[in-house]
Structure 1
């Protein structure tokens, strides 16, 4: 088989198939392969008119169809299946060739794979891809890691098939080895928080405001025309406006209230703990999904006393709606800020040089969390590459200052009514934690020193100290000399 394909895609489930079609639609000749040959044939038969495909049934024919340096994109299940496919293809490749993993791999696996293939002279590119099946076909947000050399060869192709906003591709070289998959993991963590915050806003509008789902859909459509404009707000309106054909009920009322997850949110929280990165809103959103699925535990709590129940008059409901918008926006800013802090922490830990402004730029289109205010985040980091937090930027700080009273009132109303708002509450608590001049952590340090001689630092002089709590007079000694 003559080498004529500029890129190859193996693993032709929905995402792999649509990415292959995207490459072909953009003028590239694409070799396609699947463990089940029938799926390869089906793709060519159904979509062959969209561009140039080179079907291959064997691994050898697939590799032989690729131009040097070979670019081989694998789209298979994360974990063992990815290692298995790499193990099958690596012996067939040569130095300078590259394997691209476009799945949701754990970034530590990507680091391991990159190191192992580097020793063979093969480039390994762990690339986050966001946008779902539609994004894969029409233009996703792409977050490739790997060597700068591999990006020089592969990057122009990825940029061409990615989404574009204001003429800019939603793709950039994130950093070495696992940086791309790390940033995609944090993206998904932010996505968890964003969806949980939206869900909490919906429940408040329904249970406190007294609005029906169709009415709440109109509220979200209105919000989507303002500063909350985003893909998730847009599709929330669509879901809430949908009526179930079988029952005539609002769609949201016939869906079981048990949220599932594929693991990236959990990875984000686990990794944040390892890094000491306080992603509290993301964590609460992840735990909220877990709690929603614990049917037996929920049954044990059901029927226990809750909060008050008071119906609002229409003008009161309208005022409450405005407060919820403020709380949703402020909490959203906190969740995104936590994500950016975690990316910064990960870059410091693993030696990546990640442009935080570029991350905001490539998330403006294609991806699930694309939102209008990402352009402001991009601009803030462009103006100050060392920006420690979005709250250090004047306009974001002013907006959260304006949101203070309604944000707190919404959380208070939820508590009084017995309505769970874990992500709203965690976002507000995080804000209050970081803005506070004094925290009770001083007492915690005292307790740790009392039972474990863990020492503490004083506010009035340098050094590390321990108080001998069991001795008369409780003398203090300096421990770092």
Structure 2
């Protein structure tokens, strides 16, 4: 077989097939392979006219079809299956060749694989791909990790197939080893929070303001024309406006209220705990999904007393919607800011050099959380690469200041009426935690010292101290 393909793709599920087609549409010859040959034949039969494809029946044929340095994209199930495919192909490759993992792998696995293949002289590139099956075909946001040498070769290809915003490709080298998959994981965590916040806004507009799903769809359409403009707000309006064909009822009323998850949100929360990053809005969004699926627990608690407040008038409902817009925007800023802080914390922990402005830039198109205010996040981190928080940026700080009264009123209204808003509440609590002059953590330190002699630090002099609580005079000594 002639070595004529610029890149190979193994694993031709929906994402693998669409990425292969995207490469071919952009002028690259693509060698394609799948363990079941039927998928390979189906791709060629249905889409062979879109570009140049080379069908490979075996791993050996796939490797033989690739130009040097060989570039092989794996689109297989994360976990042991990925390790097995890597082992199979690594034995067939030569120093300088590149294995690219485009799946949702855990970043720790990517770091392990990158180190092992580096010892063999191979480049391993974990790349985050966001945008779903449509994005994979028409232009995703692409987040490659790995070596700078590998990006010098792969970068132009990723940039070619990525989404474009203002003529700029939504692809950039994120950082070494697992940085690309880490940033994609955080992207998905922010996505969880964004979706939950939007869902809570919908619930408030329905339960408190008394709007119908179709009316709420119009509210979201108006919001999408302003500072809340985003892909998720746009599609929310479409979902809320849809009528179920079978029953004639609003679609949202015939769908089970138990949300699933594939693991990346959970990984974000678990990793945040390891890093000590307070991603509370993301965590509450993840737990809200878990709670929605606890059918037995919810059934046992059904009918328990909750808040009671008179219904709003139409005029009051309109004012309430404006307050919800403020609360949703402020909470979204907090959730995104928590994600950026987590990326900064990971960069410090793992020695990655991640350009936070570039992360905002490549998320402006193709990805699920693309939103109009990402331009402002990019500008903020460009102006100050060491920016600790968006709350320290004057423009965002002013908007959060304007949101204070409506944000708090919305959370209070939800509490009075018994409407659960875990993500709204967590975002507001996070804001209040950061702005507080003094936190009750001082009492926690005293409690820990009392029962576990863990020691504490004082505000008036340096050092670590311990109080001997069991003695009558409770003498303090240096720990």
TM-score by length of 2: 1.00
Residue 102 (structure 2) aligns with: 102
Note the alpha carbon deviations across 1:100-146, whole angstroms, 9 max, x for none.
Answer: 00000000000011011111111000000000000000000000000
- The residue that corresponds to 1:230 in the other structure is 230
Q: Secondary structure at the match of 1:367?
A: coil
CA distance in 1, matches of 2:200, 2:310: 18
Corresponding residue for 1:258? 258
Tell me the CA shift for residue 472 of structure 1: 2.1
Q: How far apart, in 2, do the equivalents of 1:8 and 1:38 lie?
A: 17
After superposition, the C-alpha distances for 1:333-390 in whole angstroms (9 at most, x for unaligned) are 0000000000000111111000000000000000000000001000000000000000
SS in 1 for 2:420: coil
Structure 2 counterpart of 1:145: 145
Give me the whole-angstrom Cα distance separating, in 2, the residues matched to 1:48 and 1:280: 47
Superposed, which structure 2 residues align to 1:7-406 within 5 Å? 7-406=7-406
Structure 1 segments of 4+ aligned residues over 6 angstroms from their partners = none
Deviations 1:186-236 (A, max 9, x none): 000000000000000000000101000000000000000000000000000
CA distance in 1, matches of 2:215, 2:47: 41
Counterpart residue number, 2:460: 460
TM-superposed deviation, 1:330? 0.2
Distance 1:182 1:219 in 2: 35
SS in 2 for 1:92: coil
Distance 1:322 1:69 in 2: 56
Taking the aligned partners of 2:118 and 2:205, their CA distance within structure 1 comes to 54
1:474 Cα shift? 1.1
Mapped partners of 1:298, 1:198: distance in 2 = 22
Distance 2:297 2:310 in 1: 28
Count of residues in correspondence between the two structures: 479
Query: Cα deviations across residues 280-339 of structure 1 (Å, max 9, x unaligned)?
Result: 000000000000000001011101111114211100000000000000000000000000
Give the gaps of 5 or more residues in structure 1.
Answer: none
CA distance in 2 between partners of 1:363 and 1:411 (Å): 29
Deviation at 1:444, TM superposition (A): 0.7
* Deviation (angstroms), 1:278: 0.4
Query: Hey, what's the Cα distance between the residues in 2 that align with 1:58 and 1:453?
Result: 63
- Comparing 469-478 with 293-302, greater Cα deviation is found at 469-478
Equivalents in 2 of 1:32, 1:241: separation in Å?
40
CA distance in 1, matches of 2:99, 2:444: 49
Q: In the alignment, does 2:431 pair up with 1:431?
A: yes
Give the Cα separation in 2 of the matches to 1:317 and 1:469. 56
Cα distance in 2, alignment partners of residues 106 and 463 from structure 1: 39
SS in 1 for 2:91: helix
